[in-house]
Amino acid sequence: VVTDMRTQLGRTASDLVESDPRVAVVLAEISVDRFARVMRSAPDRVINVGIMEQTLVGVGAGFAMEGFHTIVHTMAPFLVERPFEQVKLDFGYQGLGGTLVSVGAPYDYGTEGGTHHAPGDVALMLTVPGSEVLVPGCAAELDTVLRGTYANGRLTYLRTSVAQNDEAFDVAPGRAHVIRRGARATVVAVGPMLTRTLAATEGLDVTVLYTASVAPFDAEGFAAVAGDDPSVIAVEPFYEGTLTPALTDALRHVPSRFASIGVPRRFITTYGTLEEHDHELGLDAAGIRHRVASILEDGSSGASSRRAST
Amino acid sequence: MAIRIGVDDVRALMARATGDEKHDESSTSTLDAIWVLYDRVLRIDPSAPRDEARDRFILSKGHGPSAYYAVLAAMGFFAEELLDGFLEHGNPLGSHPDRNQVPGVEASTGSLGHGLALGVGTALALRAKALHEQRVVVLCGDAELNEGSNWEAIMLASHLRLSNLTLLVIDNHSSELSMDPWLERFASFGWSAVAVDGHDHAALEGALAARSDDGPNAVVADIPEGEW
């Protein structure tokens, strides 16, 4: 049985609370059941503030001002978007480290509808200078990155997902992995998009690069595999084009073609399961294959393709 | 023998920090309370502004910080000469204080409604570190308390019984909305609250030194219109 990332968050963060007396966890009702043990054993450091997200982030930053490694958690729209100024100022501007861990993005809880979607979370976090943005692809990777970054003194946005890849990699900030090598294009799969991207590109002559680290992005590793005449296709679990600035910057000295397959920039008004949303938006394996094939065929992806040159 | 400084000396220091006249009333209305805090209530060593054993003060509203800066300078947190370069490019003293640039400043504030939640987190952290004697004082303006984020934090602080947290409200009557009745309002949120004359040093000292055993404290310092 594969552990879901939300349960893994509870386990890993609880381990950290018990092993490191400078870890504090601040919750806002969401996932409280996953922290029941440490709420009893370390009640001074595991706090459920209730339904108040500005205060959730502010309290987390207050702990950080006192030297604690704070893990702040709730659903993505209520962690990043609603209290964004607290994220930007209380952590970012003050130069404080801390880990913001979300569930629910981009539309993981599809039946909840658009009020609970957050495909813009990563783009928003990328506007906070110095922040790390990590999107692990499975529970084991979540465990790795949380343990690896919780005490690194930086503001880290850690986005968990319901969808998971079949295989775990040794992920870390700024590290990408070459999964498959090919000649016609470099497909960059982010976080939980990897397994479906591998299925979508089966038999196609493309390189597949995997990253769970959106910021910092492994620009050097990417440029090395992209080659002299790059054609790049990003497969993103957030608004399409979010990764494009990092990709174009990495290839700024080489005329390159870019396309993005990600969440379209419109409100999603349908209900249903995560899988149904993926299918509707062309983000399941079949939809990705169709898009990749058409990009390879005509060298463009239509509206979302971009051409950059130096 | 050291010459004892008084609030008039601080006022003279304030006069050196010019250029933020739009916030003159915001600043002068905090002068007596901040002076009393640093002179008589808070235990903070200017030579060790990040000492673990210190009390913590957060100027939540951030606006009109020249009184705060003048008190910090008078206490020896930084050189008085910095006040002469207030707001100038390259000088650390801007119109909203920055914890990473100004010795003694605990929080970078200016956007209203952030400091009290930071204070709640700080008070929780002190509790978690078993620093039970230390306390956190957060200064908010009356108009700042229009911001809903404060009322989240006010609700939470009493729920968590943060007796090491004091909210000092400088009520200089700048709020467009009536915030009265202050004491009943705080009491309904589970806080102990007192109102004092915001220029009366003895009353301020008595109210700010008090600490209830079972929950947070609010001190509403009244600054009548025109007496800023």
The pairing of beta strand A206-211 with beta strand A155-159: unpaired
B123 secondary structure, DSSP code: H
pLDDT at B197 over 80: yes
Q: What pLDDT is stored for residue B5 in this prediction? A: 87
Summarised one tens digit per residue, pLDDT across range B10-33 is: 999 999 999 999 899 999 999 999
Cα–Cα distances in Å, from A191 out to A52, A135, A214, B153?
29, 5, 9, 35
B213 — pLDDT class (breaks 50, 70, 90): confident
Share of chain B above pLDDT 90, in %: 94
> Best mutation site among B152, B155, B189 for testing chain A: the one with the most A CBs within 10 Å?
B152
CA–CA separation, A46 and B124 (whole Å): 10
Return d(Cα A18, Cα A12) in angstroms, integer.
10
Q: Which residues of A touch B156 (CB under 8 A)?
A: 49-50, 52, 55, 59
Q: What is the mean pLDDT of chain B?
A: 96
Supply the pLDDT for residue B2. Answer: 58
B62 touches chain A (CB under 8 A): no
What are the chain B neighbours of A68 within 8 Å (beta carbons)? 125, 128
Q: Indicate which of B50, B55, B149, B154 best probes the interface with A, i.e. most A CBs within 10 Å of its own CB.
A: B149
Q: Of chain B residues 101-120, which have a CB less than 8 A from chain A?
A: 106-108, 111, 113-114, 116-120
**Pairs across A and B, CB distance < 8 A:** 97
Chain A residues touching residue B126 (CB < 8 angstroms): 66
- Give the torsion through C-alpha atoms of A122, A124, A125, A126, to 10 deg: 90
Model pLDDT for residues B110-165, shown as the tens digit of each residue: 999 999 999 999 999 999 999 999 999 999 999 999 999 999 999 999 999 999 99
Find, in chain A, the residue whose alpha carbon is nearest to that of B156: A49
pTM value is: 0.96
Asked if the Cβ–Cβ distance from B121 to A62 is below 8 Å, we say: yes
Neighbouring-strand partners of residue A23: A69
Q: What's the CA gap between B42 and B25, in Å, rounded?
A: 24
DSSP secondary structure letters along B144-204: GGGSHHHHHHHHHHHHTT-TTEEEEEEE-S--SS----HHHHHHHTT-EEEEEETT-HHHH
Chain B hits for A55, Cβ within 8 Å:
117, 120, 149, 152-153, 156
Q: pLDDT per position in chain A (310 positions), as tens?
A: 689 999 999 999 999 999 999 999 999 999 999 999 999 999 999 999 999 999 999 999 999 999 999 999 999 999 999 999 999 999 999 999 999 999 999 999 999 999 999 999 999 999 999 999 999 999 999 999 999 999 999 999 999 999 999 999 999 999 999 999 999 999 999 999 999 999 999 999 999 999 999 999 999 999 999 999 999 999 999 999 999 999 999 999 999 999 999 999 999 999 999 999 999 999 999 999 999 999 999 764 443 444 443 3
Which residues, numbered 6 to 35 in chain B, qualify as contacts with chain A under a Cβ-Cβ cut-off of 8 Å?
none
B131 touches chain A (CB under 8 A): no
Task: Single out the residue of A139, A156, A131 nearest to residue A73, CA to CA.
Answer: A156
**Averaged over B187-207, what is the pLDDT?**
98
Chain A residues with CB under 8 Å of B57 CB are: none
Burial class (CB in 10 A: 0-12, 13-18, 19+), B91: middle
Q: Is A94 within 8 Å of B159 when comparing Cβ atoms? A: no
